[in-house]
Amino acid sequence: MKSKLLTSVMILVSIIGFSQNPIIIPSTIESTNVNLSLQNGTFQFFPGEDTATMGVNGPLLGPTLIMNNGDNMNINITNNLGQETTIHWHGLHVSAANDGGPHTVIDPGTTWNPQFEVLDKAGTYWYHPHLLNHTDEHASKGISGFIIVKDTEEAALNLPRTYGVDDFPLAVQTKAFDTNYQIKHSVNDDTTLMVNATINGQLDVPAQVVRLRVLNGSSQRTFNFGLTGNNTFHLIGTDGGLLNAPVALTRLPLSPGARAEILINFTGLQGQTLHLMSYASELTNGNYGATVPGVSPTQVLDGYNPNPLNGADFNILQFDVVAQTASPITSIPASLANDVPLAESSSDEARTFTFTPLTGGSEQLNGDFAINGVTMDMNTINITIPLNNTEIWTLQNFSSIAHPFHVHDVQFYVLDINGSPPPAYLQGRKDTFMVPPGTTARIITKFEDHADDTIPYMYHCHMLKHEDALAGMMGQFVVVDETAGLDDQEINKGALLYPNPSKGSYISIILNNKSERILAYSVVNHLGQIISHHKIHENEISNIYSFPVFELSQGQYFVKVFTDNGIITKKFTKNN
Ligand code: C2O
Ligand code: CU
Ligand code: CU
């Protein structure tokens, strides 16, 4: 009797376990005026169980924002979370002030109003929180949304583009839940897989070519996408837009933060069921999601095992093929965009970024990790880049786990991986690139359009646990316009800071106009905060004044010089 009951309970559980749920398709906002509300909510990932969530204009996820190249966006984001956060436009080429990085905090109860022109190519981008040390918490609780950018080049192609009909956004994520069905973050027991917040997701697709905009929105996990039966699909776009021609694939690894636009031809398959899979058994060790997360089987990652998703092949989404739509696309186009990658010979500057573990031995996968020997410091600008520089960045991963390296502001091209050209699926525009352990890879990009002396952009690992650690795997760069604006005025005004940059203890302000007098000066940090203000004693007033800088830590500053003719602002760099 008891065992009969147990058996029927088990059958019931397995039926529930395998029941398929139509995935949520986020609503769209197609307007240059966008109102977003960040809010707390509850959502039932598991039938009958309330989970506390965070979302945008709803309990979780957020509306898909549809933008056109050239649009002037005016976005109001009201923070109703009761705590600080930020919203970052991942992949969009916007100014640092509009980028929504850790410096652009939206206080609870306030509204942030980024305004920017859409300079991006047609593609799939996304938005998510980026508060220092809290990105994973806020993203895992549910805040993330798609951005679809359209342009005339894409519009001229014979591609599926009817949202929710033959063009679908798929945010693929794993999450970790505690025994009360509440979301945990920055842990390694992410055993629950979901697509657009739907567990055991199912999607009706018409019997024609269907476009999937796939985002790996997981905190840490890499997927190795494929179709059941090893059917071929076509990659048409990467992080920053369309490829020049579709790439036929049976497998596509996708790291956290990265996107892929793929076409699947379901023509003639009406009535059939197929699955989008992750063939994680084929991931090489050293990827989060493989059998062993490090390069060596003895390397452990707390909570990683047992996890049914690690090193296993599993279903991500069930496709049920239904009737064709009215004017279906039934073939894969032969060519797509006309994108010309930056030439290696155009580089103005080469920089190297080393990834090293801060913990040794078998524990090193548990973190933390440094970039060029240092970890995230809000008060340190790690790199200053002249506007319009084309740069080659060499990424060297000296740790035992792969890190998805993400750069704000730009799209880049992968030049080579251990000296060899990248595979076809990595030859497009990228903003997030998985650097395997023990690997040296080079990327090339150009820093154009946006300069800001004070607000930095970020570069970081997009495994959110690595990014969010107190010793965070993240750094900051500013793009500076050395030829325009302030400097011209400064030169005309004839003020000099000497020496600049300085490693020494004192610098001098020298006014060329000998009859102009220095009355006071302020030192302002890159956040615009006044560090010191000093009024010059009457009998020291002249056109020259020297003051101490040995207490300033390394970084970029502004020196404001108050003269009897006005205020002169000079940039100053302190080196140690
Ligand atoms: Cu998707 Cu700096 O982030
Ligand atoms: Cu980003
Ligand atoms: Cu990392």
pLDDT tens for each residue of 159-188: 999 999 999 999 999 999 999 999 999 999
pLDDT tens for each residue of 386-439: 899 999 999 999 999 999 999 999 999 999 999 999 999 999 999 999 999 999
Q: Going from the N-terminus, what domains does the chain have, and what CATH number goes with each?
A: 344-473 (2.60.40.420), 488-574 (2.60.40.3080)
Which protein residues touch ligand 1 with a CB less than 6 Å away?
88, 90, 128, 130, 257, 406, 408, 458, 460, 462
- What is the C-alpha to C-alpha distance for residues 412 and 429, in angstroms, rounded to an integer? 6
- Beta strands 413-417; 440-447: pairing state: antiparallel
What's the pLDDT band for 483 if we cut at 50, 70, 90? low
Proximal ligand: closest to the CA of 138: 1
User: Which ligand 1 atom lies nearest to the CA of residue 257?
Assistant: 1
User: What's the confidence (pLDDT) of residue 46?
Assistant: 96
DSSP 163: B
By CB neighbour count within 10 A (0-12 exposed, 13-18 middle, 19+ buried), where does 263 fall?
Answer: buried
pLDDT above 80 (res 89): yes
Neighbours of 30 (CB within 10 A): 15
Phi and psi dihedrals of 430, rounded to 5? -130, 145
Average pLDDT over residues 502-510: 83
Residues 443, 415 contacting (CB under 8 angstroms): yes
pLDDT tens for each residue of 141-158: 999 999 999 999 999 999
Alpha helix ranges (H) inside 35-147: 135-140
> What is the pTM assigned to this prediction?
0.84
What's the pLDDT band for 565 if we cut at 50, 70, 90? confident
316 CA to centre of ligand 1 in angstroms: 24
User: Which ligand 1 atom lies nearest to the CA of residue 467?
Assistant: 2
Amino acid (1-letter code) at residue 440: T
Proximal ligand: closest to the CA of 397: 3
User: Which ligand 1 atom lies nearest to the CA of residue 458?
Assistant: 2
Q: Cis omega (within 30 of 0) on the bond before 306?
A: yes
64 CA to centre of ligand 3 in angstroms: 28
What's the pLDDT band for 468 if we cut at 50, 70, 90? very high
Strand order in the sheet with 506-511: 495-498, 506-511, 544-548
Proximal ligand: closest to the CA of 128: 1
The two three-digit tokens of residue 492, written as one number: 């005309």
User: What's the confidence (pLDDT) of residue 14?
Assistant: 43
Q: What is the largest CA-CA distance in the chain?
A: 104
What's the pLDDT band for 547 if we cut at 50, 70, 90? confident
- What is the C-alpha to C-alpha distance for residues 485 and 481, in angstroms, rounded to an integer? 8
96 CB contacts (<8 Å, ≥6 apart)? Answer: 409, 450, 452, 455, 456, 457, 478, 479
User: What's the confidence (pLDDT) of residue 3?
Assistant: 43
What's the pLDDT band for 499 if we cut at 50, 70, 90? confident
Task: Please provide the average confidence, as pLDDT, over all residues in the chain.
Answer: 93
What's the pLDDT band for 563 if we cut at 50, 70, 90? confident
By CB neighbour count within 10 A (0-12 exposed, 13-18 middle, 19+ buried), where does 6 fall?
Answer: exposed
The two three-digit tokens of residue 575, written as one number: 């080196």
61 CA to centre of ligand 1 in angstroms: 16
- Beta strands 28-29; 64-68: pairing state: parallel
DSSP 155: H
552 CA to centre of ligand 1 in angstroms: 30
Average pLDDT over residues 249-266: 98
User: What's the confidence (pLDDT) of residue 2?
Assistant: 40
Classify 244 as helix, strand or coil.
strand
Neighbours of 323 (CB within 10 A): 11
Average pLDDT over residues 235-240: 98
What's the pLDDT band for 571 if we cut at 50, 70, 90? confident
What's the pLDDT band for 18 if we cut at 50, 70, 90? low
- What is the C-alpha to C-alpha distance for residues 21 and 503, in angstroms, rounded to an integer? 62
Alpha helix ranges (H) inside 173-250: none
What's the pLDDT band for 51 if we cut at 50, 70, 90? very high
Q: Which residue has the higher pLDDT, 4 or 99?
A: 99
404 CA to centre of ligand 1 in angstroms: 11
pLDDT above 90 (res 103): yes
Q: Which amino acid residue places its CA nearest to atom 1 of ligand 1?
A: 90
Rg (CA), the chain: 26
369 CA to centre of ligand 1 in angstroms: 17
By CB neighbour count within 10 A (0-12 exposed, 13-18 middle, 19+ buried), where does 3 fall?
Answer: exposed
User: What's the confidence (pLDDT) of residue 15?
Assistant: 44
- What is the C-alpha to C-alpha distance for residues 423 and 418, in angstroms, rounded to an integer? 12
Q: Which residue has the higher pLDDT, 485 or 449?
A: 449
Identify the CA nearest to 63 among candidates 43, 92, 37.
Answer: 37
- What is the C-alpha to C-alpha distance for residues 165 and 25, in angstroms, rounded to an integer? 10
Q: Which amino acid residue places its CA nearest to atom 3 of ligand 1?
A: 90
Residues 209, 324 contacting (CB under 8 angstroms): no
Residues 562, 569 contacting (CB under 8 angstroms): no
Q: Which residue has the higher pLDDT, 486 or 70?
A: 70
Percent of the residues in the chain that have a pLDDT greater than 90, as a whole number: 78
